[in-house]
Each structure stands twice: as structure tokens, then as C-alpha cells.
Structure 1
Amino acid sequence: MTHLYPSPKYFFTVLAAGLLSVSFAFAQLQSGPMVGYSDMLEVMLWAQTDRPAQVKIMYWEAGNPAQKKSTDKVLTQKQSAYVARLFADQVRPGQKYEYEVYIDNKKVFIKYPLRFQTQTLWQWRTDPPPFRFAIGSCNYINEEGYDRPSRAYGDGYEIFQSIADKKPDFMLWGGDNTYLREADWNTRSGMLHRYTHTRSLPRLQSLLGSTHHYAIWDDHDYGTDDSDRSFWMKNTAAEVFRLFWGNPGYVFEGATTGTFFWSDAQFFILDNRWFKAPNKLADPLRDYFGDAQIRWLLDALTSSKAPFKFIVTGGQIINPARVLENYANYSTERDRLLAAITEARIPGVLFLTGDRHHTSVHRLDRPGTYPLYDFTISPLTSGTTKPFPDELTLPTLDSGTLVTERNFATFDVSGPQNDRALKVTVYDVKGKELWTRQLRANDLK
């Protein structure tokens, strides 16, 4: 009998093919890492892989890599979009940290710096630390095959590097951070796809990796255009939002309402979708934020000792024009909320909004007390629009603040505890200054 033995070349070919297939099976970093909330004794970190994998993050105080700490290991799974939510819980207040990502015990090479910080324990010790945050809204990332068949709606992605160059302590995403589309609305798979696609933008990654991030949502991260409390996938939308963002907590089941602190400032995140009645509902008492959320907000504002109390939501609050989804369309509830803030004599209230695809500041003068300001900052990368003609002559509009190109803003808080100051600066896509405004906490009393 003749025996035929495979040649050495055959064995080499089979071995090479096997090694190649194994190499392709290694999990890779899909998006992130992203730095979430920061507190004195804990920081939330986030990463997404492209297939199941074991993920951990090693971190250390800046300049001291010999003393590395590790988060717990997290196994990413398909049902949660291969997302790992990790917690640096062996940290000290007021420190800066560096970190690295490990996937299946292999260090991931990342060419840009990875950093986070813990908040300072300043109370009863020093003046509150100065800080800077960036804010923007309306972030549209094109995807061929899912966009409308016309000119690309998203552009100017270099804006994210311009934001990173300003070195903010954190980024506040002001809604419409992800644009769900027709293929996404009706399934959990569609929502996970859209959030993953947006989060994976290469030009976004360095900003994610070294700046803390907080977010609200508006209609496009929630559901359909102008969607409201009737949206049939609202529970799934809430689950996906919480999976992809790093806010420290939520007040209600489902709704994205919450609060966080940075230095001596407090931020109140309002949900303008979960409780909102339809725009076309013929009821003068219809809800926008809803009674439960307004009660919580007024209680929280009353209890707050912050010199600046930033209320963050999607639609414009102070602009009196009854256009699109401005709060003025829900005038009964709006009047009640603004009157309650005035009657309670709550100092330091400022509104931060988005939605409109242009930037502007509206100021509401109130007899016997300080004016209320609404800083609308929009858009980041989506298309731009102009105000309606009648809005340009409104007495509330600071006409020197209108910007109808893609932009973002930084807010700088500084000064001694008894005289805190706020500086607001708006920049174009390339980081060129467009305008600036300054306020003092003592003038908001």
C-alpha cells in the first residue's frame, strides 16, 4: 500500500491559516474609552469592544505609574452592545490620574493621552477650585445608506479636537447627541447600532478619553422627531441612554432627570421628553416637564447652596416665541415654573439649552430681582438654521450672541467663594472665539 503524506509546505499553510483566523478573533476596542462622572472617591469609566471580551482599566496618580490600581474586570456581551462600565474606586480627592485599557489581559495601544481627575475636597478648607466645562448640542454623524438621500447633514467633525484643545474639566452634552433615524426607532438593535455608530467616530475619541462627560437627551436621542411621552420605545430608549452615558444617577424610573456637582456649582438635568404631552394636544394645562419633575426641581433648587445653579434641558426656556418646541408653547406650565422660582427667591439660576441649530442668549428681566438667562448652544455637527424673523426683534434676545454656524462654548467659573464669576465664550468649529459674556454670582441674587 502506498502512503501519501502531506508535504511540509501543507503543514505550514494550515498552521498559518489557523493563526490568521485566531488573530482575527481577538477583540478590539470599538469606541472609547470615555471618562464619565467624577466625584471625590469614585470615577466612572466606559469602554466598548467589538465582540465579547474581558475588560479592565489600570490607573495611577499622574507621575506615579509604579502604584497602579485596577478596576474590576467586566465581561462585555452582545446584549449590552459589548459595553463595559467600570469604576475607579481606589482614588483620592483632588488628584489627577492616568490610565490604560486592557482587553483580554492585553494592553490596548492608544496614541493619545488617557486621563481623569477626582474632585477636590475644598469645603471648610479653601476657596472652591476654578473649573471649566464645555457644552454643545445637536451632533449628527453621517452614515451612508441611513441618511436622507440629499446633501450630507453632518460635518465639521474637527470640532471635537477644538473642544479638547480648550482643556475643559468636563463636557456637557446638551441633547440630540445622537440622531436616531427611521431604521433605528422601532428596535433595541437599531438604537444600539445608532449609539455605537455615533460613539465610534474616530475624531471624537481623544475628547472622550481625557475629559469627563455628562449628558441630557432631547428628541433625537430619545425617539422620533418631536417625540413625547407617548413614544412606544421610551423604556428601551432610557435603557440605551443609560448604557452609553456616564451620569452619576437618576431621580425617576425611566426619565433622565438628575443632578451633579462640580466644585461649588450644581447642575440640574431636566428631561423634556419622558413626561411631555404631544405638541398638538389641545389642552392648555398640558405637561412639558410634568408636575413630579417640577416639584423635584423646585425642591432641589431651594435646597441648593450653589452660587450658580445650571438648569440643563433641550428646548429653549426664556425665549417667548411660540415656535418649534420652545417652552413658550406650554405657557401655563412655563409661567408657573418661572413664577415659582421668583417667589421662592432662589439665587443663581441659569438655563443651558440646545435644540435650535443656532446659538443665542435670551434674558428675562424680572421686577425686584435679577434677570434669568438662557444660553442656547447649538449645533455641534448637524446642519444649521436661523431664528424665525420675528425672533430677531424680541426684547429678550441679546443680538450680539446670535451664531448661525457650527459652534461650542466654554463656561469658566472662578474667584473666591464669596464672589464667584462666570465667563462664557463661544467658539467656531476650529476653536476661534466668536463672542464672550461675563456674569457674577453676586449679581444673580
Structure 2
Amino acid sequence: MKKKLIILGLILITNCVVFAQDLVQSGPMVGYSTMREVLLWVQTTKAAEVHFEYYDKAQPKQRFSTQKYTTTFDKAFVAKLIADQVLPGKKYVYELFVNGKKAQKNYPLEFQSQTLWQWRTDPPEVNFAIGSCSYVNEERFDRPGKGYGSEYEIFESIHNKKPDFMLWLGDNTYLREADWNSRTGFLHRYTHTRSLPELQPLLASTHNYAIWDDHDYGPNNADGSFAMKNTASEIFKLFWGNPNYDVINKGGITGYFEWADLHFFLLDNRYYRTSNNNYTGEREMLGKEQIDWLINALSSSNAPFKFVAVGGQVLNSEAMYENYAIFAKEREYLLEKIREAKIEGVIFLDGDRHHTGLSRMKESNDVYPLYDLTCSSLTAGSNNNQEKLNVYRLKETIVGQHNFGILNVSGPRKERVLKINIFDTNGKEIWTKEIKATDLKYK
């Protein structure tokens, strides 16, 4: 009899754990990290009380907890909670609780706080992943025929590289015709993409930052006239965990973050954009206010590498599709201001094009070369466009298959080196290049 009761008790406990797990729609996901706090994100299947508990891996007996929060229908049952008891330079294990019960996962739930290195040591080595164009098939809403998305195992390959964080470079989800005209549609598409099983381990232990491009903003080639632009901003902010948005107070998603001695400038190439087909007045992709903020912020930065993330290509000289060359006057203004202010160490990161490639612009011997790394596509259809009319392309870097990037920055504070590695779906290296911070300075 006692044995039966024990077995019955174990069944009941197991059922409680499964029940808690069944209430998790997607996540948990680790958002931004600072020295004193980290954002944790999760989405449940229905209204539920959630919280996270966490502890320093080196001191597992001392546990901390976030606030408790009840998810709601109007917020897509999303919870964004802050782990605010962290200390610099620590690695933490965390646990998710739903309605008071621990939700089990078969992969690590971990995060890290950033290191306090200033005035103490050289900055730490940094590894971060980049990628764009992530399409997850859903047959009932997709176009007829072969699914546009494939090779979802690429997210497992990124996870296996154990980057400190991932910077998503736009088209992180693909709104369909049934999605972009309603808030209901936005919520469905973001939820569907975020729930991909292959994605979950990466979300759970890698800090995530993001910008957008047209497909996670609205229809193909959508611009500032898009009627649902405010809904697009709301849902983007709900599903991502950047430390800030709309730093210019104009309604978009412009933002900024730091990691070690690296600075990242997250630009919005949609909210303020002139239609690609409108030539009746001043044409803009970023808008003067956003560019002026960027130049000011870059001027204030002492980072050896200043990464400027934009949804579309910046340096490609071939005026086609949606790259910056079709807004030639504004692009000239941006690049002239970078040179006029003598800002050093600028590297552009972008996606959109469904192929990967590195561009290098050096106008004269008096200036350092500007680089533009395009990294695309993760799972959406890829192409082998060779950018033959792009005078700045490095031909050997063009990749026409699913791929992702791992960027490594290492070395002493005054001799930092960036190593760019591009990998295929299975994590096999395709090409690698090094750029020294000392080579991105004015003479």
C-alpha cells in the first residue's frame, strides 16, 4: 500500500511539472545584459503567474527571484521580468516557474552579467552571433508550393557556438498577407515564429538584441506611410528584450547597447522611410534626426569598434532593391558626417539581401576603410547574387546559402582585433577575415 502511495505521489508531481511546461508557449529567452541586471522573457499559452529564480553558478545555495507577473491576453501572454540582484562578471543559472510550479527544460537556462573591467584589466574577449532573414513555414498562410523556410537546425548550430549574445539584423520573422493589417495578425506571426522548437535552446542561454527590416515591420518594402507602424513598434518591443527603444523620441525602435568595450548603434530603416518609389521631395531611409543622433553618439564613443546595425546594406554601390544607394543623397550625408567628425572604428552590420558579403570602402589614403558586413539568410530562401556592380565588394566573401556569423573581438585594450567567421547551416566555417582596430583610425 505504501509503495502504491509513493508511486501515486510521483505521478502527481510529474503531472504538475508537465502542466507547468504545457503552459509555456515560447521561451524563456534571455534579453539584454548589464553589470547589475538582466532581462528575462517568456510567453505562456494562457493567463498564468510567472516568475524566475536564479543563482550564481559558483554559489548555488543563495537564490534570488524576480517579481511575479500574471500574463494577459492583451499582451500575448508575454512576461518581461528583470533579474536585478546580479553582480558584474558572473554566470547564473535560472529557473522558470509557472503558477508556482517549476517548468522543466532539457537544455541549459543560463545568463551572464557583464564584466566590470574598466580601470582594472584589459577588456574581456567577446563572441557574438549575427544573422537575418528567419522564415518559419506555416502552410495555411504561406504561398502555395514549396515552403520558403528551411534548415531550422541552423539555430542549433548557432547555439553550439556558445556566443555571448546574438544580434538579429532584421526580417527576424516574416509577416504574411493575413498578418500585417491587424494587431491579431502581428501577434500570431510573432508567436508562431518565436515558438519554433529548434530556436528555444538558443533563446534560453544567449542574450538577444534585435533591429527590424520590412518583413517584421509590415508588408514587403514597407515605409513610413505604413498605417500599422505604431502596432509594429508595439509588438516588436513586446517580443524583444533590448535595453532601450526610440532613443530619439520619434516612435521607432532606434537604440543602443554596450558589451565590454564595444558599442552597438541599432538603427530603424523603416519607420521614417520615404517610399522607394517617391521622388517628389527629400528622400530618406533613416531621416536626418536619426542620423544626427547617430553622429553625435558615435562622436561620444571611445569604442575601438563601433557597430552600426541597419536593416539594409549601406555601402553597396549598386542602386538596386532596397540598399542605401537608392537614397544616394542621404547616404552621402551620413558618410560625409562620419568623415567630417573623424569618427574611427565604424563597421556597418546588416542583412536583407539573402546572401552574405563584405564590402570595403576607402575613398583616399587619408582615411581608414569603412566596412559593411551583410549576413543573410538564416532560414529564408537564399540566393547567389554576386553583387557584380558593387565596386566595394570583396568577391571572396559572397555566400549564397543559409549562413550565420560569429564575430570575435580579442586582444589588449589598445590592440583589439575583430575576427569575422561565417558558418554554414551545420556550423562549418565558410570564410574568415581579421580587422585590426588600429587599421580603422585616421592618420
Q: What is residue 279 of structure 1 aligned with on the other side?
A: 276
Distance in 1 separating the partners of 2:68 and 2:250: 28
Letter in structure 2 aligned against 1:403: V
Residue 339 and residue 26 in structure 1: after superposition, are their counterparts in 2 closer, same or farther (change >3 A)?
A: closer
Deviations 1:183-227 (A, max 9, x none): 101111110000000000000000000000000000000000000
Gaps of 5+ in 1: 1-19
Distance in 1 separating the partners of 2:284 and 2:157: 38
Q: Which moved more, 1:33-42 or 1:360-369?
A: 360-369
- Once the 2 structures are TM-superposed, how far is the Cα of residue 282 of structure 1 from its aligned partner? 1.2
Question: What does 1:241-320 align with in structure 2 at a 5 Å threshold?
Answer: 241-250=236-245, 251=247, 252-283=249-280, 285-320=282-317
State the percentage of identical aligned residues. 56
Distance in 2 separating the partners of 1:332 and 1:26: 53
Distance in 1 separating the partners of 2:216 and 2:114: 29
1:183 aligns with 2:178: yes
Q: What is residue 428 of structure 2 aligned with on the other side?
A: 432
Partner-residue secondary structure (3-state), 2:409? strand
Q: Return the match for 1:233 from 204, 219, 228.
A: 228
Letter in structure 1 aligned against 2:376: S
Q: Return the match for 1:135 from 127, 130, 134.
A: 130
Partner-residue secondary structure (3-state), 1:328? helix
Q: Report if the CA contact (8 A) 1:358-1:404 is conserved.
A: yes
Partner-residue secondary structure (3-state), 1:190? helix
Letter in structure 2 aligned against 1:133: F
- Give the TM-score normalised by structure 2: 0.93
Q: What is residue 421 of structure 1 aligned with on the other side?
A: 417
Q: What is residue 87 of structure 1 aligned with on the other side?
A: 82
Deviations 1:396-425 (A, max 9, x none): 110110000000000000000010000000
Q: What is residue 13 of structure 1 aligned with on the other side?
A: none
Q: Report if the CA contact (8 A) 1:27-1:53 is conserved.
A: no
Q: What is residue 394 of structure 1 aligned with on the other side?
A: 390
Partner-residue secondary structure (3-state), 2:398? strand
Letter in structure 2 aligned against 1:362: S
- Once the 2 structures are TM-superposed, how far is the Cα of residue 392 of structure 1 from its aligned partner? 1.9
How many residues are aligned here?
422
Partner-residue secondary structure (3-state), 2:395? strand
- Once the 2 structures are TM-superposed, how far is the Cα of residue 338 of structure 1 from its aligned partner? 0.5
Q: Report if the CA contact (8 A) 2:317-2:391 is conserved.
A: no
Q: What is residue 379 of structure 2 aligned with on the other side?
A: 381
Distance in 2 separating the partners of 1:155 and 1:283: 41
Distance in 2 separating the partners of 1:348 and 1:333: 21
Residue 26 and residue 200 in structure 1: after superposition, are their counterparts in 2 closer, same or farther (change >3 A)?
A: closer
Distance in 1 separating the partners of 2:310 and 2:302: 21
Partner-residue secondary structure (3-state), 2:397? strand
Letter in structure 2 aligned against 1:408: F
Partner-residue secondary structure (3-state), 2:438? helix
- Once the 2 structures are TM-superposed, how far is the Cα of residue 395 of structure 1 from its aligned partner? 2.7
Q: Cα RMSD (Å) of the superposition?
A: 1.4
- Once the 2 structures are TM-superposed, how far is the Cα of residue 150 of structure 1 from its aligned partner? 1.3
Letter in structure 2 aligned against 1:387: N
Q: Report if the CA contact (8 A) 1:27-1:103 is conserved.
A: no
Residue 283 and residue 372 in structure 1: after superposition, are their counterparts in 2 closer, same or farther (change >3 A)?
A: farther
Q: What is residue 335 of structure 1 aligned with on the other side?
A: 332
Q: What is residue 28 of structure 1 aligned with on the other side?
A: 23
Distance in 2 separating the partners of 1:196 and 1:34: 13
Q: Report if the CA contact (8 A) 1:102-1:108 is conserved.
A: yes
Q: What is residue 159 of structure 1 aligned with on the other side?
A: 154
Partner-residue secondary structure (3-state), 1:400? helix
Partner-residue secondary structure (3-state), 2:308? strand
Q: Which moved more, 1:282-291 or 1:219-228?
A: 282-291
- Once the 2 structures are TM-superposed, how far is the Cα of residue 24 of structure 1 from its aligned partner? 7.6
Q: Return the match for 1:353 from 350, 355, 380.
A: 350
- Once the 2 structures are TM-superposed, how far is the Cα of residue 284 of structure 1 from its aligned partner? 6.1
Q: What is residue 118 of structure 1 aligned with on the other side?
A: 113
1:73 aligns with 2:56: no
Distance in 2 separating the partners of 1:146 and 1:394: 36
Partner-residue secondary structure (3-state), 2:432? strand
Q: Return the match for 1:96 from 86, 91, 113.
A: 91
Distance in 2 separating the partners of 1:24 and 1:47: 16
Q: Report if the CA contact (8 A) 1:284-1:332 is conserved.
A: no
Q: Return the match for 1:192 from 187, 192, 203.
A: 187
- Once the 2 structures are TM-superposed, how far is the Cα of residue 287 of structure 1 from its aligned partner? 1.1
1:46 aligns with 2:30: no
Letter in structure 1 aligned against 2:307: F
Letter in structure 2 aligned against 1:85: K
Give the greater-gyration-radius structure (CA). 1
Distance in 2 separating the partners of 1:285 and 1:396: 26
Letter in structure 2 aligned against 1:431: G
Distance in 1 separating the partners of 2:186 and 2:110: 29
Letter in structure 2 aligned against 1:271: D
- Once the 2 structures are TM-superposed, how far is the Cα of residue 285 of structure 1 from its aligned partner? 2.7
Q: Report if the CA contact (8 A) 2:269-2:286 is conserved.
A: yes
Residue 186 and residue 127 in structure 1: after superposition, are their counterparts in 2 closer, same or farther (change >3 A)?
A: same
Partner-residue secondary structure (3-state), 2:221? coil
Q: Report if the CA contact (8 A) 1:40-1:93 is conserved.
A: yes
Q: Report if the CA contact (8 A) 1:156-1:429 is conserved.
A: yes
Distance in 2 separating the partners of 1:24 and 1:393: 57
Q: Report if the CA contact (8 A) 2:20-2:102 is conserved.
A: no
Residue 25 and residue 387 in structure 1: after superposition, are their counterparts in 2 closer, same or farther (change >3 A)?
A: closer
Gaps of 5+ in 2: 1-14
- Once the 2 structures are TM-superposed, how far is the Cα of residue 144 of structure 1 from its aligned partner? 1.3
Letter in structure 1 aligned against 2:272: F
- Give the TM-score normalised by structure 1: 0.93
